[in-house]
Amino acid sequence: MLRYKLPPWLLLLLPAIVVLLAVVMLPLLLSLYSSFTSYRLTRPDSITNWIGLYNYEKALTDAKFWAAFGRTVLLLTVALNLEMLLGLGLALLVSKVTHGQRALRTMMMFPMMFSPVLVGFQFKFIFNDNVGLVNNALQSLGITQTAIPWLVDGNLAMFSIIFAEVWTSTSVFAILILAGLYAIPKDPLEAAKVDGCTSWQTFRHITLPFVMPFIYIAMAIRSLDVARAYDIVQIMTNGGPARRTELLWTLIGRTGYVDAKMGYANAMGYTSIFLAIFFTVYFFRKLTTARTELGMGG
């Protein structure tokens, strides 16, 4: 029987490839095409109106777009690094506990149970300047007598968003780094103790290099998922006020769905996709390097 046989690896990968082609690649091709048209949701025939690179030109020469782009990069950088540091700290704290680890670990993962849309509402209420939890607490404790406009002030608004984002996602880092801490072999740690290393030295030269790959894994996972923060930001501030918290995602969402200018939104969307890909590939590189350094192979 003359039948072309697929190599087994391809056969095994086929389901994954097919699903991803159908659900991600096909729609993306559609949106790539529409980004070269004046596509307007409410005028379906406009999808055939080819306008070349006009949308891209318009986006790339728009100061508002670049401001949102810069802010998104800033948010990603600050949030991911903060989450990493806090996650590391949290994991260290939890790993040193002798009793009740199981309960602590579950508590640590508590924010992961919260849907981003819920987190958005939650922090919108917590940071409300008039009846919000934070201001109420600060005023009751006599720390301040003013109503702090958490979601309005230029710096505080970004802070509040980053706080909400860090709150939801630090768990992911903590749990992965905790797994890394458990995996550290005991011998080098004991050897360090015998050699009289301080705990900082032990941490710096033994613990940290060992958990580094876990940190990069967490970074990679988070950079894949970070656009989910859209739900949070959209509900908390929706990019406002006066564009102070405008991110690429809020800008795209509003342009595409509210203004119905899908062609233009997709052109901006592509730049945000490239941004996400850049972050992901960057952390994968780091991950591979860290693995090689630890002799774990690629």
Partner 1 sequence: MDSNLSHRLKARALKLAHLATLFVAMSIICLPGLWIVLNSFRPTVEIMAKPPVWIPNELNLDHYRSMFGGIGEGGVPVLTYFMNSLVISVTSTVIALLVGMAGGYAFARYKFKGKAALFVGLMVTRAVPGVALSLPLFIVYARIGIIDTHFGMILTYVAMNVPFTVWLIDGFFRQVPKELAEAAEIDGCTRWQAFWRVEFPVAKAGIASAGIFAFLTSWNEYALASQLTRSVTSKTMPVGLLDFTSEFTLNWGGMCALAVLMIIPALVLTFLVQKHLIAGLTFGGVKG
Partner 2 sequence: MNKFASGASALVLAAVCASFAQAGEFDGITLEAKLIGGQQYEALYARIPEWEKATGAKVNIISKKNHFELDKEFKSDIAAGTTSWCVGSNHSSFASQYPTLYTDLTGLIPAETVAQFVGANIKAATLDGKLVMLPRAQFDVSALYYQKDLYEDADNKAKFKEKFGYDLAVPETWQQVSDQAVFFSDPPNRYGTQFAGKDEAIVGRYYEMVVAEGGKLFNDDFSPAFNSPEGVKALNWFVNLYKASAVPPGTTNYLWDDLGNGFASGTIALNLDWPGWAGFFNDKAASKVAGNVGVAPAPKGSAGARTGWSGFHGFSVTEDCANKEAAASLVDFLTNEDSQKLESAAGPLPSRTAVWDYVTEQAKSDPYRSEVLAAFKETAKTAFAVPATPYWIEATNLIYPELQAAILGDKTPEEALEAASEAVNDMMRENGVY
Give the binding-site size for partner 1 (rule: CB under 8 A). 99
Residue 105 or 254: which CB sits closer to partner 2?
Answer: 254
Residue 146 or 198: which CB sits closer to partner 2?
Answer: 146
The answer to whether 97 contacts partner 1 (rule: CB under 8 A) is yes
Question: By the 8 A CB rule, do 207 and 226 touch?
Answer: no
**For partner 1, which residue of 84, 157, 219, 262 counts as binding (CB under 8 A)?**
262
- Restricting to residues 55-84, which ones interact with partner 1 according to CB under 8 A? none
Q: What is the DSSP string of 68-120?
A: HHHHHHHHHHHHHHHHHHHHHHHHHHHHT--S-HHHHHHHHTGGGGS-HHHHH
Contacts of 144 (CB under 8 A, 6+ apart): 135, 138
The answer to whether 223 contacts partner 2 (rule: CB under 8 A) is no
**Shortest CB 21 distance to partner 1, Å:** 9
Residue 41 DSSP code: T
- Restricting to residues 41-100, which ones interact with partner 2 according to CB under 8 A? 41-44
- Rg for the chain, CA atoms, rounded: 24
- Restricting to residues 224-263, which ones interact with partner 2 according to CB under 8 A? 237-238, 240-243, 254, 257-262
Phi (first) and psi of residue 40, to 5 degrees: -125, 130
Select from 58-66, 73-81, 106-114, 236-244 the region that touches partner 1 (CB under 8 A).
Answer: 106-114
Question: By the 8 A CB rule, do 160 and 123 touch?
Answer: yes
Is residue 63 classed exposed, middle or buried when 0-12, 13-18 and 19+ CB atoms within 10 A define those classes?
Answer: exposed
Contacts of 133 (CB under 8 A, 6+ apart): 125, 126
Residue 135 or 272: which CB sits closer to partner 2?
Answer: 135
Angstrom distance (rounded) from CA 154 to CA 156: 6
The answer to whether 249 contacts partner 1 (rule: CB under 8 A) is yes
42 binds, among partner 1, partner 2, none (CB under 5 to 8 A by kind): partner 2
150 binds, among partner 2, partner 1, none (CB under 5 to 8 A by kind): partner 2
3-class state of residue 124 by DSSP: helix
179 binds, among partner 1, partner 2, none (CB under 5 to 8 A by kind): partner 1
Tell me the H-state helices in the chain: 8-20, 26-34, 54-60, 63-95, 101-108, 116-126, 133-140, 154-183, 186-194, 199-202, 208-225, 229-236, 248-253, 262-293
The answer to whether 37 contacts partner 2 (rule: CB under 8 A) is no
Residue 109 or 154: which CB sits closer to partner 1?
Answer: 109
Q: On the CB side of 130, how many CA atoms lie within 13 Å of its CA?
A: 0
**Shortest CB 129 distance to partner 2, Å:** 3
- Restricting to residues 117-176, which ones interact with partner 2 according to CB under 8 A? 128-131, 135, 139, 145-153, 157
69 binds, among partner 1, partner 2, none (CB under 5 to 8 A by kind): none
- Binding residues for partner 2, rule: CB under 8 A, are 41-44, 128-131, 135, 139, 145-153, 157, 237-238, 240-243, 254, 257-262
